[in-house]
């Protein structure tokens, strides 16, 4: 008996009692549906977090600043005052300069160090000639900006470029994000001496709404350097080119363990370093914990469904006892009898899981549309439920595995039946 014949036999046997089989598949469907939905939420939320994190910094970037003593000790308790150590007050706050850059560059795995420049902007003026207060920052390294429309900033361009936060599009008089592309805005900034100058910049993109940097627009290096130069006019030379923080970029493919070693090396020479994951890790843990709890409800449904599979197949074995005896009398081995009933269990798991995932995808598309038009309206670029072929495939395989294990008991019983006793069964 070929495997294809076994598969056909198992499929036809499931249809002998359609009602019982369908009810068992429905139980599997509920578990697969619940797990798929919670996995979709987890994928959607984490994807959005990744987009937000990418707008702040890359995976191989470290935010480095002078090491200062905080008010907390190593055991997260108030630290005792030591006059020899500086504390992180606003007084006498240390700044980083060119010498610090060179020290940081010498640390193993670090290949690039860039200052985090910031410019003071008085106002922005757009098409409607109205002036608004704006916050804008530069971008460095491998920041992956989540854009609603337009292009990334060209850091090698000699033209001033800006990516607007979505809140400024209609405020500045543009009909839509696409309508604002290529238009020119005016940015006013003042020197330390109080002289105000206006700089023009071209809008090259509009970013999606950001939870981490709400209302923050982005500038290319040319625009940022021009604004900083104006801000620093009249500032003593020894106070220029000093920064509270720099971004150190490590080699591509740096592992988490290597990144921790870089942090330790920086700590030894007097610098504090942190990654985006350090700042956002707790949020990820909370999201994963919530979806993990929800997934448990799906697991409970699958556990209940596994008893349904056992019951369905035990009843099938009882109803087909004489048939099993006849198959054994004709030379069919116990292993093949076991295989037939095991495949029946696996097919129940397969149909239930596939239908559950398809149902979750259908429900997900409806939920995503409702969410985008209501409570997620302000969070452009956030797709609440996302389904990936890999996670869906894993769910199907796991459920088929559970179904197989549930079916082993009745399959074993069928395989052990004595052919003579089976043929006499009424």
Residues of the chain with pLDDT under 70: 1, 3, 52-59, 68-93, 140-143, 211-214, 279, 281, 421-426
Greatest Cα pair distance, the chain, in angstroms, is 107
So what's the pLDDT on residue 92? Answer: 47
- Amino acid 5: pLDDT: 72
In the chain, domain spans: 3-54+282-424, 60-115+245-274, 117-242
pLDDT, position 182: 95
Helices 389-416, 18-54: crossing angle, 10 deg rounding: 150
The whole-number pLDDT of residue 95 equals 81
**Does the global pTM surpass 0.75?**
no
Q: What is the pLDDT of residues 73-84, one digit of tens each?
A: 444 555 554 555
Using alpha carbons, select from 44, 48, 50 the residue that is nearest to residue 384: 44
Q: Provide the pLDDT for residue 240.
A: 78
- CA torsion 149-153-157-158 (nearest 10°) is 90
236 contacts 105 by C-beta, under 8 angstroms: no
**φ/ψ (deg, to 5) at 362:** -65, -45
Residue with tokens 């620093």: 232
Find out whether 226 and 187 touch, Cβ atoms under 8 Å: no
CA dihedral of 166, 172, 173, 177, whole degrees rounded to 10: -20
What is the phi/psi pair of residue 267, to 5°? -65, -35
In which element (H, E) is residue 147 found? strand 147-150
pLDDT for residue 177: 93
Sort strands 161-164 and 196-207 into parallel, antiparallel or unpaired: parallel
């Amino acid at each position: 008996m070929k495997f294809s014949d076994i598969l056909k036999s198992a499929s036809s046997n499931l249809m002998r009692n359609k009602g019982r089989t369908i009810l068992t598949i429905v139980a599997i469907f509920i578990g697969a549906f619940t797990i798929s939905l919670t996995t979709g939420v987890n994928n959607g939320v984490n994807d959005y977090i990744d987009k937000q994190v990418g707008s702040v910094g890359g995976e191989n970037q470290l935010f480095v600043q002078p090491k200062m003593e905080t008010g907390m000790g190593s055991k997260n308790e108030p630290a005792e005052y030591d006059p020899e150590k500086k504390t992180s007050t606003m007084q006498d706050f240390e700044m980083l300069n060119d010498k610090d850059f060179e020290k940081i560059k010498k640390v193993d795995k670090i290949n690039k160090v860039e200052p985090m420049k910031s410019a003071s902007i008085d106002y922005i003026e757009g098409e409607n000639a109205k002036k608004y207060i704006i916050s804008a920052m530069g971008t460095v390294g491998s920041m992956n900006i989540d854009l609603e429309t337009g292009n990334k900033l060209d850091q090698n361009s000699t033209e001033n470029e800006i990516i607007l936060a979505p809140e400024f599009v209609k405020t500045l008089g543009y009909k839509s994000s696409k309508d604002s592309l290529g238009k020119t805005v005016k940015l006013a900034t003042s020197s330390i001496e109080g002289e105000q100058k206006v700089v023009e910049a071209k809008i090259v993109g509009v970013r999606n709404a950001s939870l981490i940097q709400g209302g923050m627009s982005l500038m290319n290096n040319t625009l940022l350097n021009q604004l900083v130069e104006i801000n620093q006019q009249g500032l003593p030379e020894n106070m220029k080119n000093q920064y509270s923080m720099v971004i150190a970029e490590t080699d591509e493919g740096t592992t988490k363990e290597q990144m921790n070693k870089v942090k330790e090396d920086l700590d030894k020479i007097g610098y504090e370093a942190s990654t985006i994951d350090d700042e956002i890790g707790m949020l990820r843990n909370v999201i994963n914990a919530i979806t993990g709890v929800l997934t448990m409800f799906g697991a409970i449904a699958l556990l209940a469904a596994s008893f349904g599979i056992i019951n369905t197949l035990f009843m099938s074995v009882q109803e087909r006892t004489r048939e099993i005896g006849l198959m054994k009398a004709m030379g069919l081995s116990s292993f093949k009898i076991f295989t037939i009933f095991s495949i029946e269990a696996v097919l129940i798991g397969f149909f239930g899981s596939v239908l559950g995932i398809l149902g979750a995808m259908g429900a997900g598309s409806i939920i995503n549309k409702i969410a985008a038009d209501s409570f997620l309206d302000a969070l452009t670029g956030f797709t609440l439920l996302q389904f990936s072929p890999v996670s869906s495939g894993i769910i199907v395989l796991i459920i088929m595995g559970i179904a197989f294990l549930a079916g082993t008991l009745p399959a074993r019983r069928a395989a052990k039946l004595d052919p003579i006793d089976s043929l006499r069964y009424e």
